């Protein structure tokens, strides 16, 4: 059953594009041609991997960022700065540490010049609604994470916004606290007690999206685009163990592991192997551990990602980069929500410590052009030394500084593990010292 | 102001408390003092009681009040400067390009050498009136207080957490509201701490700024500084001791009445997400919170503040520029070109001015004297470190001692070292010692404590598990110092040493020349050079000396301390 009664458009994002301007090369596109319409009475989740630009989109909707191109229409008028009637909940809570719970909740009303008596009355209502009664005079640092995010919610609700924006609101909380807060929020929403018309939330947790949202927009990475739109047909309260629920979660895993067809280079394809390929920041121990887990029972070389994520206590956002890195090195293959071990991965698992390094080194040189290039440069130099700065500069011509940093860090860590080169952190320099 | 009392509970206890009586005494005492001083500043300069100093200890309380008020006037000026200069530098990128390097230089320039110029300037503003002298003295103290406060404010404004900024914007706080509700509270702990440090630094300048001589003219402003100068000139050891006692009382008073409560109060604004151990409120803060009358006054001030800071004033666009967009390179280049032109012109003016009176020989001489002072400062830093690092580590690893010693070290840093000069001078004269060597320790007398209390802080923060690991692997003796504790406290040590060495350069102007009655001891060095040029009213040499000293200080910072600091932050911080 769908909660939507009357479909009034609240917010429309049209052809939105957000790009970093780089002088050396083309613009680095964070968001590309994003369209989105939000109606009254629905919860919409933006689901995507980190770096897919979903938080950027939320900030554009909040009027905190001006899009490079495209329009945001709020109730039919073009957005120029933070609009009235939109309130935001932050991943890090963003509470003012020097204000009490009550003062934090009142800040939005105070900014509008609401009279003191009115402020106190409305804050009291919001505080009671969200279950913070008795904590009015506490300071944020005295509260647990869950209670702090309740303050964040109360602060947003007290201004009676039409649209509530939530930026990964539960990801800084432990599993139980997050579940408790989600349930409370959904209960209030379905009972119609929240002074809201609509909710737009960003998350990388697939189950969270299926649990809370009426509609899910799945974002692709690099550049961020809306790759899929899904309707969640279940009524609240939803049951995680319902087969239909599990099926939807499975499907979304499949969607998120499917490679986008055009434009972006596919790592497996040899012709696309340029040094401009972004690497995930994934540790070698984690990769080895995952391969060992995959090889052993009960998976015996093939695992369903949601099940694997649950048993390893990893979120999709952590598991997917790991799987993709293994796929890049051709140790494993990702397809339709499954991960299965490739022959090279099997050989790695069966090898001892020294042989593993040899296998890893071979895979790196064959499939990661950046690592190969670093080693080549070192071999050619008379002193076998090379500064990391030149590689970073080269990477930054092709990707944002953050991605370049992650990619370089991975190349350093992986190459060190494979004993292809050593690295001096102080001098930011690669060398062949201590390499046999 | 405080929420310690719930209105419902407070209802039954409306009667004034004992704390109210104490509070009223404090308030009226301050009022009487201020009126007394205000009368004094409007006297004509040539009336005898305006600038006559009596060594009779009964005058000391009045002198102490006047000196203290001068310091607070300078503090108010410093705050004003901080809230304009630092804010402008932080808010406008282009202004920052100019203002921050200037601040950096001002911080390392020995301001003491400029006293002469400023006195002349302020005297010309109020001809024949004490007010001109007062302002000159206040300005001198201001120059010792303002820079680090402005720096602290600037750094805080630049590091306001991004999510809080976003929250403030998305909840529609205007620029004005954001400044008072987010940025100023965020800057408060650092600013309060630096204000306290500045107040300590100011004492050093009090003695130099109250007794002013320009060429043949000598003026004495009533105050502790003049009293000390007079006592030194008349070789009156009793008077020196009285002055030390008076100063101790004043420092203790404002420390207890103002700074302890302020620091405790400012902890509320510290940006931390976990509740740390909280110390008991200082007694003065308790008084403020308990005395109903003061609470009422505090609440009213808080109310007015809330109204003013709540004004919906806004400047500039509401959109935030994204990442690397926006700044126009052509405009930046133009701005830089204008700055360079101004700089070149100023440099040219200074050179031509100095060149009319001086030759290259003088420059060479000043540089040579500077190298002597450089050797002094370096040797002193090594000796002070060798003494205070082991002691600081010993104290820091014993929490009980650290708690006792820390305030004492801070207090010693606040104590103006020039008061302790007389015993040194007497000893040097009595034993016929070499002034070049034995005047040197005076330079670190006041500044060595920064090393001590930073090392104590570092050792107290050293992780217990690392100490246990070291013990478990039987790491002892030299190896323990070299591998365990020294790398651990190094970042703290560098912070302390930077402050100490900067202070020592400044102190050299006072410490390389010391007098006791008619005996005048002079060491060879740049500090003595500047001091003598000031006494002789030789402006060109003062400018030259100060410029050379600034160059030394800046180079010392850039070539030694900055790299060490960067290294410590990169390699030796326990993150």
Q: Do A87 and B269 touch (CB under 8 A)?
A: no
pLDDT at B258 over 60: yes
Which residue on chain A is closest to B269 by alpha carbon? A98
Greater pLDDT, B7 or A391:
A391
Asked if the C-beta of B173 comes within 8 angstroms of chain A's C-beta atoms, the answer is yes
Q: Tell me the H-state helices in B397-485.
A: 399-414, 421-431, 435-438, 442-445, 448-461, 464-472, 477-479
What pLDDT, on the 0 to 100 scale, is given for residue A433?
Answer: 84
- What percentage of chain B has pLDDT greater than the value 70? 79
Phi-psi region of A374 (alpha: psi -120 to 50; beta: other; left: phi over 0): alpha
User: Is the pLDDT reported for residue A262 higher than 50?
Assistant: no
Best of B8, B180, B186, B323 to substitute, by most chain A Cβ atoms within 10 angstroms, is: B323
Under 8 Å between Cβ of A422 and A434 = yes
Residue of A nearest to B167 (CA): A94
> Do the chains contact at A96 and B325, CB–CB below 8 Å?
no
pLDDT at A109 over 70: yes
By Cβ distance, the residue of A80, A82, A96 closest to B164 is A96
Nearest CA in chain A to B172: A111
| pLDDT at residue A266 is higher than 60 | no
In angstroms, the CA B226 to CA B53 distance is 7
Q: Which residues of A are less than 8 Å from B277 in CB distance?
A: none
Residue B575 has pLDDT above 60, yes or no: no
**Among A337-346, B299-308, B466-475, B503-512, where is mean pLDDT lowest?**
B299-308
Chain A residues within 8 A of B299 when measuring between CB atoms: none
- Cross-chain residue pair A87–B171, CB shorter than 8 Å: yes
Residue B451 confidence (pLDDT) above 80: yes
Identity of the residue in B163, B268, B324 whose CB atom sits nearest the CB atom of A90:
B163
Chain B neighbors of A98, CB-CB under 8 A: 185, 188, 268-269
Q: Does A149 touch chain B (CB under 8 A)?
A: no
The alpha carbon torsion through A11, A16, A22, A23 (nearest 10 deg) reads -120
pLDDT (mean) for A79-101: 88
Supply the pLDDT for residue A165.
94
> Collapsing DSSP states into helix, strand and coil, what is residue A79?
coil
Helices A388-396 and A369-380: angle between axes, nearest 10 degrees = 140
Residues in Cβ contact with A339 at an 8 Å cutoff, skipping those fewer than 6 apart: A294, A302, A303, A305, A308, A323, A326, A332, A333
Q: What is the mean pLDDT of chain A?
A: 86
Q: Over range B415-434, report the average pLDDT.
A: 77
Instruction: Report the chain A residue with the minimal C-alpha distance to residue B182.
Output: A96
Residue of B nearest to A111 (CA): B173
Higher pLDDT, B175 or A216: A216
Give percent of chain A above pLDDT 70. Answer: 93
- Give the tokens for residue A296: 């052993």
B268 near A CB under 8 A = yes
Whether residue A373 contacts residue A407, with contact meaning beta carbons closer than 8 Å, is answered with no
Residues B166, A90: C-beta atoms closer than 8 Å: yes
- What sections of A62-164 are H helices per DSSP? 101-111, 116-129, 145-157
The 10s digit of each residue's pLDDT in B320-356 is 444 444 556 777 788 788 878 887 887 787 777 777 7
For the stretch A218-258, pLDDT in tens is 988 777 888 889 999 999 889 888 999 999 998 998 888 77
Q: What is the ipTM of this complex?
A: 0.76
Q: Mutate which of B4, B9, B171, B264 to test chain A, going by most A C-beta atoms within 10 A? A: B171
- Give the max Cα distance, chain B: 81
Distance of alpha carbon A57 from its chain centroid, rounded? 12
CB atoms under 10 Å from CB of A347, counted, come to 14
User: Cα distance from A20 to chain B (closest Cα, Å)?
Assistant: 7
Cis peptide leading into residue A237 (ω within 30°): yes
HEC string of B189-255? HHHHHHHHHHHHHHHHHHHHHHEEEECCEEEECCCHHHHHHHHHHCCCHHHHHHHHHHHHHHHHHHH
pLDDT attached to residue B570: 76
Q: Are B451 and B500 in contact (CB under 8 A)?
A: yes
Confidence (pLDDT) at B280: 57
pLDDT tens sequence across B112-123: 666 767 777 887
A12 forms beta bridges with A37, A73
Q: What is the mean pLDDT of chain B?
A: 78
Task: Mark residue A192 as left, alpha or beta (left: phi above 0; alpha: psi -120 to 50; beta: remaining).
Answer: left
Nearest to A137 among B3, B318, B325 (CB): B3
Q: Are strands B513-516 and A225-231 parallel, antiparallel or unpaired?
A: unpaired
Contact with chain A for residue B271, Cβ under 8 A: yes
CB contact under 8 A, A63 and B185: no
pLDDT at A270: 38
Question: H helices within B313-420, ranges in order?
Answer: 329-357, 360-396, 399-414
Residue B224: band (very low, low, confident or very high) from pLDDT cuts 50, 70, 90: confident
């Amino acid at each position: 059953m769908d909660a939507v009664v009357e479909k009034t458009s609240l917010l429309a994002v049209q052809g939105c594009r957000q790009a970093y301007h780089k002088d050396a090369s083309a613009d680095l596109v964070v968001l590309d041609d994003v369209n989105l319409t939000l109606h009254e009475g629905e919860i919409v989740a933006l689901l995507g991997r980190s770096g897919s630009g979903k938080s950027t989109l939320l900030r554009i909707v909040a009027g905190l960022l001006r899009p490079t191109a495209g329009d945001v229409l709020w109730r039919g008028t073009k957005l120029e700065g933070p609009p009235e009637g939109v309130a935001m909940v932050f991943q890090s809570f963003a509470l003012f540490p020097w204000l009490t719970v009550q003062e934090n909740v009142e800040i939005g009303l105070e900014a509008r010049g609401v009279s003191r008596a009115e402020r106190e009355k409305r804050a009291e209502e919001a505080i009671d609604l969200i279950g913070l009664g008795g904590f009015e005079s506490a300071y944020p640092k005295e509260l647990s994470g869950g209670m702090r995010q309740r303050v964040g919610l109360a602060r947003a609700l007290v201004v009676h916004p039409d649209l509530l924006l939530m930026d990964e609101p539960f990801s800084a909380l432990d599993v139980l606290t997050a579940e408790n807060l989600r349930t409370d929020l959904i209960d209030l929403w379905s009972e119609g007690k929240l002074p809201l018309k609509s909710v737009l939330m960003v998350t990388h947790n697939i189950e969270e999206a299926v649990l809370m949202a009426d509609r899910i927009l799945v974002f692709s990475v690099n550049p961020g685009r809306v790759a899929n739109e899904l309707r969640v047909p279940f009524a609240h309260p939803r049951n995680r163990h319902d087969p239909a629920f599990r099926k939807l979660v499975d499907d979304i895993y499949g969607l998120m592991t499917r490679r986008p067809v055009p434009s972006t280079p596919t790592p497996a394809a040899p012709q696309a192997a340029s040094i401009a390929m972004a690497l995930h920041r994934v540790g070698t121990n984690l990769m080895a551990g995952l391969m060992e887990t995959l090889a052993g029972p009960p998976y015996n070389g093939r695992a369903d990602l949601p099940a694997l994520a649950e048993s390893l206590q990893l979120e999709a956002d952590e598991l997917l980069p790991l799987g993709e890195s293994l796929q890049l090195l051709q140790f494993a293959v990702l397809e339709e929500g499954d991960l299965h071990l490739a022959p090279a991965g099997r050989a790695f698992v069966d090898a001892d410590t020294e042989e593993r390094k040899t296998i890893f080194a071979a895979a790196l040189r064959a499939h990661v052009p950046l690592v190969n290039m670093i080693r080549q440069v070192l071999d050619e130099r008379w002193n076998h030394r090379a500064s990391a700065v030149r590689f970073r500069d080269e990477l930054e011509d092709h990707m944002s500084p953050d991605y370049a940093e992650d990619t370089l860090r991975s190349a350093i860590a992986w190459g060190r593990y494979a004993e292809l080169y050593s690295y001096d952190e102080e001098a930011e320099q690669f060398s062949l010292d201590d390499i046999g | 102001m405080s929420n310690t009392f719930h209105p419902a509970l407070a209802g039954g206890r409306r009667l004034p408390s004992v704390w109210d009586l104490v509070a009223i005494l404090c308030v009226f005492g301050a009022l009487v003092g201020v009126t007394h001083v205000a009368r004094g500043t409007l006297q004509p300069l040539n009336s005898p009681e305006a600038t006559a100093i009596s060594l009779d200890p009964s005058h000391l309380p009045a002198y102490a009040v006047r000196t203290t008020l001068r310091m607070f006037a300078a503090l108010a000026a410093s705050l004003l400067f901080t809230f304009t200069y630092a804010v402008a530098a932080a808010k406008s990128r282009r202004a920052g390009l100019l203002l921050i390097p200037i601040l950096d230089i001002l911080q390392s320039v020995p301001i003491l050498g400029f006293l002469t110029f400023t006195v002349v300037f302020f005297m010309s503003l109020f001809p024949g009136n004490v007010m001109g002298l007062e302002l000159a003295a206040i300005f001198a103290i201001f120059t010792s207080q303002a820079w680090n406060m402005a720096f602290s404010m600037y750094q805080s404004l630049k590091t306001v957490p991004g999510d809080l900024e976003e929250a403030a914007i998305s909840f529609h706080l205007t620029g004005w509201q954001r400044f008072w509700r987010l940025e100023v509270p965020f800057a408060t702990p650092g600013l309060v701490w630096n204000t306290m440090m500045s107040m300590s630094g100011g004492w050093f300048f009090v003695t130099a700024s109250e007794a002013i001589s320009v060429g043949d003219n000598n003026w004495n402003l009533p105050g502790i500084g003049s009293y000390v100068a007079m006592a030194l000139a008349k070789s009156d050891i009793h008077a020196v001791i009285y002055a030390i006692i008076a100063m101790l009382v004043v420092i203790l008073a404002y420390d207890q009445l103002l700074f302890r409560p302020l620091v405790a109060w400012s902890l509320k604004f510290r940006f931390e997400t976990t509740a740390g151990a909280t110390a008991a409120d200082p007694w003065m803060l308790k008084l403020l919170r308990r005395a109903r009358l003061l609470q009422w006054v505090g609440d009213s001030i808080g109310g007015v503040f809330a109204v003013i800071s709540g004004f919906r004033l806004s400047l500039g666009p509401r959109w935030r520029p994204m990442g690397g967009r926006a700044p126009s390179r052509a405009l930046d280049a133009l701005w830089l070109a204008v700055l360079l032109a101004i700089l070149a012109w100023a440099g040219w003016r200074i050179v031509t001015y100095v060149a009319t009176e001086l030759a290259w020989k003088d420059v060479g001489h000043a540089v040579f004297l500077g190298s002597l002072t450089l050797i002094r400062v370096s040797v002193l830093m090594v000796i002070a470190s060798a003494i205070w690092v082991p002691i600081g580590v010993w104290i820091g690893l014993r929490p009980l001692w650290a708690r006792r010693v820390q305030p004492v070290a801070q207090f010693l840093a606040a104590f103006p070292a020039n008061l302790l000069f007389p015993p040194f001078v007497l000893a040097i004269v009595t034993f016929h010692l070499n002034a070049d060597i034995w005047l040197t320790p005076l330079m670190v007398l006041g500044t060595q404590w920064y090393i001590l209390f930073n090392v104590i802080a570092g050792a107290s923060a050293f992780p217990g598990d690392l100490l246990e690991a070291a013990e478990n692997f039987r790491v002892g003796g030299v190896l323990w110092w070299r591998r365990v504790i020294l790398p651990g406290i190094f970042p703290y040590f560098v912070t302390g040493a930077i402050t100490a060495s900067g202070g020592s350069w400044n102190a050299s102007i006072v410490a390389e020349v010391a007098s006791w009655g008619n005996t005048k001891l002079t060491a060879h060095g740049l500090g003595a050079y500047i001091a003598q040029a000031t006494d002789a009213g030789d402006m060109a040499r003062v400018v030259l000396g100060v410029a050379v000293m600034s160059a030394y200080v800046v180079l010392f910072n850039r070539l030694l301390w900055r790299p060490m600091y960067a290294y410590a932050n990169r390699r030796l911080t326990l993150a």
